[in-house]
Chains A and B, each alone.
Chain A
Amino acid sequence: MTTPTPFAALAGLPILKADIHIPYYGLWTASVHLYQSAPIPPGPIPLTLGSLSLVGTVVRAASFAGGTSALVVGGSGGWRKVVTPRYYEAPSGIPVAMLLSDMANEAVEPTPVVGPTIAPVYGQYFARENARASRVLAQVVGPAWWVQNTGVVFCGPRTPAAIASPFVLRHFSGADGRIVVASEFLGDWVPGNTFLGPTLDAPRTIASLRHVLEGASVRTEVFLQAS
C-alpha cells in the first residue's frame, strides 16, 4: 500500500494552510503551515498545490505547537543575497549571459534564461555594486524578470495565454479590480494570462494573484491589470 500524495505539500510534507503570492515580475513567495513539526530540507524544494508545482527555498521557518510554518521564495533563495562589487569592461560590449552567470554563481542560483527581448550584449562597461542580486539583476535586464515554476529566473516579459480550463468565478470586485475564482487547474493561473467566463463582459488579464489554501478549499484571488 502506497502513501497517497497530499494535495498540498512542501518537500513532500503535507500542508495545512498556504498563501502563495505570484507577482507579475519578481519572486513569488509562499507562507506555508505544515501539519507536523518537522525539519524542512534545505535548498530548492518542491511546493505543490494541486496541479500547481513550484520550486522554491525556505528562507525562514519555525516549529510551534506541533506544526511548522515557513516562508518560501521562488528559486534557490539566492536573489536576496548580496553580491560583491565587480567591474567589467569589454570594448565590443559585455555579454549579458556572462554578467548573469557570474551573478547567479555568486548568489547560488541557476543562471537565468534570457528572453528574446533582452539585448545579448550589454554596454562597454558595467560597474556591479555591492547590492542584492535581485537589484543588480534589474540593472542588467531591467525590471522584467520573474521566477518560472522550475525555480529558474526568466528575463523578459511573460508570454500571455488565454486560460482554456474551466473555473468558477466566486467573487468580482470592480472597485478593487479583484476577483476570486476556484479552479482545478491552478497552473493555468499565472500573471499575464487572460480569461473570460460566462459572467464576464470582456477578457481580463491577470496582474498578480494569490492561491490561498485553507482547510479543504483553495481559492485564487486575482488582481486584474488596469484596463
Chain B
Amino acid sequence: MSAALLPPPGSDSTSTLDRFRGALATFIREQFPFLTFAGAYEYVVVSQAGQTLSLAATDPTLGLPALGGKVPIRMAAGIQPTLPPGSKCIVQFVNGRPSRPIVIAADEQVTPTKVQVNAIAVELGAVVTGYVALAAKVDANFTTLFNNLTSWTPVSNDGGAALKAVLTNPLLGGYLATGVKQLTAAATVKAQ
C-alpha cells in the first residue's frame, strides 16, 4: 500500500470540500502513523560514499524528504554497485519505520559505474568448467618467458641444451621449473 492511497493533508481537495470525509481520512491516517513508510519510493542518486547514497525524491507530492545523508545500499547479498549521479533507485523502509531507509534496487536502464561482487565463490555461466585466469598473473608468466627467451645466449651445436637449462633451472628464473611458473587461476571466479 502506498501513500498515494491516503494523500498527505492538504493535497486532497475532498478533505476541504467534504468535512466528514476529510475528518474520516484524517482519523484513519492518525491510526496508522507508519503507513507512508510501508511503500517503495523512487529517488535519484545525488552522490555515493562507499555503499551509501545521498538521494533526492523524484515526487515531492508524496511528502517524503530528500534523504541527503548516507542511506545504506541493501541489494542482493554481496552485490555492491557504484551508481552514477542522476540514476534512479528504489527506497524502502525496513519494517515500515522512518528510522530505517535502505536502497533496495537501482534502475535497470542505467549502467552502473561498477558492480562489485563479494562472495566466497562466483560462477559465471550455467555449467562452470574452471576458474578464470587473472590478467596480471598471465602477464607475469609471459614477461618471465619473454625475458628468458630474450636473455638466452645460444650455444653452437648443443642441440638446444642451453635453452633448456635457462627454461628449467629455477636459479636462472627457469620458466618451466616447478615453483617458478605462476598459477594464473582466480581464487573465486569460475566460468563456463
Contact = CB atoms under 8 A, between A and B. Distances in A.
Interface of A: 82, 85-87, 89, 122-132, 134-136, 138-139, 143
Contacts of B8: 82, 129-131
Nearest to B93: A127
Nearest to B52: A89
> Could you tell me the dominant secondary structure of chain A's interface residues?
mixed
Contacts of B68: 87, 89
A87 B33 contact: no
**B9, B97, B99 — which one has the most chain A CB atoms within 10 A of its CB?**
B99
Contacts, number: 72
A122 B67 CA distance: 17
B66 interface: yes
B91 to A, nearest CB: 9
Contacts of B33: 135-136, 138-139, 143
A130 B65 CA distance: 8
Nearest to B71: A125
Contacts of A82: 8-10
Contact of B64 (A125, A127, A135, A138): A127
A127 B70 contact: no
A123 B70 CA distance: 14
In order of increasing CB-CB distance, the 8 nearest A-B pairs are A123-B99, A130-B63, A89-B69, A85-B65, A138-B33, A87-B65, A127-B98, A129-B63
A85 B55 CA distance: 14
B63 A127 contact: no
Contact of A130 (B64, B93, B97): B64
B26 interface: yes
30 contacts: A82-B9, A85-B63, A85-B64, A85-B65, A87-B66, A87-B67, A87-B69, A122-B99, A123-B97, A125-B67, A126-B99, A127-B65, A127-B67, A127-B93, A127-B101, A128-B98, A129-B36, A129-B63, A129-B98, A130-B64, A130-B65, A131-B8, A131-B9, A131-B29, A131-B36, A131-B63, A132-B26, A135-B33, A138-B33, A139-B34
Given A82-B10, A125-B99, A125-B100, 17 more contacts: A86-B65, A87-B65, A89-B70, A123-B99, A125-B69, A126-B98, A127-B37, A127-B65, A127-B98, A129-B63, A129-B64, A131-B63, A132-B30, A135-B33, A136-B33, A139-B34, A143-B33
B13 to A, nearest CB: 15
Contacts of B69: 87, 89, 125
Nearest to A124: B99
Nearest to B66: A87
Contacts of A86: 65
Contacts of B98: 125-129, 139
B40 to A, nearest CB: 13
A62 to B, nearest CB: 14
Interface string B99-130: 11100000000000000000000000000000
Nearest to A128: B65
Contacts of A131: 8-9, 29, 36, 63
